[in-house]
Amino acid sequence: MSRIGKKIITIPAGVTAGVENNHVFVKGPKGELRLKLHPRVTVAFDKNEITTTVVNETNKQDRSLWGTFSSLMASMVKGVTEGFKKQLEINGVGYKAGMKGADLMLEVGFSHPVIVKPVVGVKFSVEKNIITVEGADKQLVGEMAAQIRKVKKPEPYKGKGIKYTDEVVRRKAGKTAAKGATA
C-alpha cells in the first residue's frame, strides 16, 4: 500500500469538492482548482473527507500514481483554503523590482527593464527587495517564481541576482584568492 495514498484528506468548512467529467474539482475561498483523473485512480467523497484508491494495490506503477494523486489533491485543498506563497530576494547594486499594474518590472542590469506577466490565478507583490508570488495552485506559483529567478540567477562570486529567500548561494573565491595574492 502507498503510505501517502492511504491517508485521508479532510475537507475544511467552506470548501466543496467533487468529480465532474473525469476531473476532480475543489472550490474554496481562494478560488477553484481542477485535476484530470487517471483511469487507474478512483476518488471517493464522504461528508468532509476525500479518499483515493487504485485498481491494483500490488502494482508498483499504481502505488506511485496513488500517492501522487493523493498528494496533488491535498495540495489543492490547501491551496483553495490557505494559498501558496514563494518569496524571492533581489541582491545587487542598482537592482530593483516594481509593479506596473499587475505585471512585475525587474531592473537587473540589462539595458531595458524585464517585464514578467502573471498567469491567471497568480499575483505578485513587491516590498523593498523582496518579491512575493502568491496563488492557489502550487505548481503555477512555483513555475512563476522559477521564471522570475531565471531572469537573473544569482552568480557565485558576489551573489548578485534573484534568489529564493531560503536559498543559500555557494560563494566562490575570486582569481586572486585562488592563486594566492603574490606581489
The pLDDT tens digits for 24-76 are: 999 999 999 999 999 999 999 988 999 999 988 888 898 899 999 999 999 99
pLDDT-derived band at 109, boundaries 50, 70, 90: very high
From 70, 67, 50, 49, select the one nearest 59 (Cα to Cα): 67
pTM of the complete model:
0.88
What pLDDT score does 3 carry? 83
* Residue that the C-alpha cell 512585475 belongs to: 104
Are 133 and 124 spatial neighbours (Cβ–Cβ below 8 Å)?
yes
Q: How many residues does the chain have?
A: 183
pLDDT-derived band at 183, boundaries 50, 70, 90: low
Q: What residue segments make up the domains of the chain, in order of their start?
A: 9-81, 84-164
- Residue 94 in grid coordinates: 542598482
Per the model's pLDDT, the better-predicted residue between 131 and 56 turns out to be 131
Q: How far apart are CA 88 and CA 1, in angstroms?
A: 38
Burial code (b: 16+ CB inside 10 Å, e: under 16) for 42-75 equals: ebeeeeeebbbbbeeeeeeebbebbbbbbbebbb
- Around Cβ 119, how many Cβ atoms within 10 Å? 12
Do 9-81 and 84-164 share a fold? yes
What's the CATH class of domain 84-164? Answer: alpha beta
What pLDDT score does 17 carry? 93
- Mean pLDDT of the 159-176 span: 92
DSSP 117: P
CATH of 9-81, one of 3.40.50.1110, 3.90.1150.10, 3.40.718.10, 3.90.930.12: 3.90.930.12
What pLDDT score does 1 carry? 58
